[in-house]
Amino acid sequence: MTASRTHTVIDSPIGELTLVNTDGMLSGLYMSDHHPAPDATTFGPQTSEGFDEAGGQLREYFDGTRTTFTFPIAPVGTEFQRTVWTALRAIEYGTTSTYGEVAASIGRPTAVRAVAAANARNPLSIIVPCHRVIGSSGRLTGYAGGVERKQFLLEQEARIAHAPTPA
């Protein structure tokens, strides 16, 4: 049985985002100049149908009114990669974690490099917040969309998360 795939492209404050839908679930979110670059020939036909919920929640995220995503996702990867991606989703909005902390959280404290590799292969940037993972020194490390985008996302989240609440 072959999966039904479609894609759309939406604008965002960090440039165009390509969303890929597989059988009704978001399976990919890629930025322009994404590295490593996915094979765009596998995205299926371009359409706007089936992306309302994901597109709307991403707009809310960039507007600062959404801190979590609730639509169904279907990232494709190895069992280890999916375990890492689940751990990434547990990193709270407006905070960061290190590769070592993620490795420890999945019970594999010596697998720091494997965690970094799984992080780099995350097919759902932003939704699975790999941008929240930083080096052990506190420095921003590589990001599939570029370190500038990672910095933008982290600064936006910090600004929203630490904004004073109205009285």
Give, in degrees to the nearest 5, the angle at Cα 92 between 7 and 142. 60
Would strands 17-22 and 25-31 be described as parallel, antiparallel, or unpaired? Answer: antiparallel
Residues 6 or more apart whose Cβ sits within 8 Å of residue 13: 62, 152
As a whole number of angstroms, the distance between CA 162 and CA 154 comes to 12
Active site residue: 88, 124, 127, 130, which one? 130
Residue 25 is which amino acid?
A: M
- Identify which of 151, 43, 80, 83 has the alpha carbon closest to the alpha carbon of residue 17: 43
Widest distance between CA atoms in the chain:
55
Residue 55 is a catalytic residue: no
As a whole number of angstroms, the distance between CA 98 and CA 140 comes to 10
Give catalytic residues, as residue numbers: 130
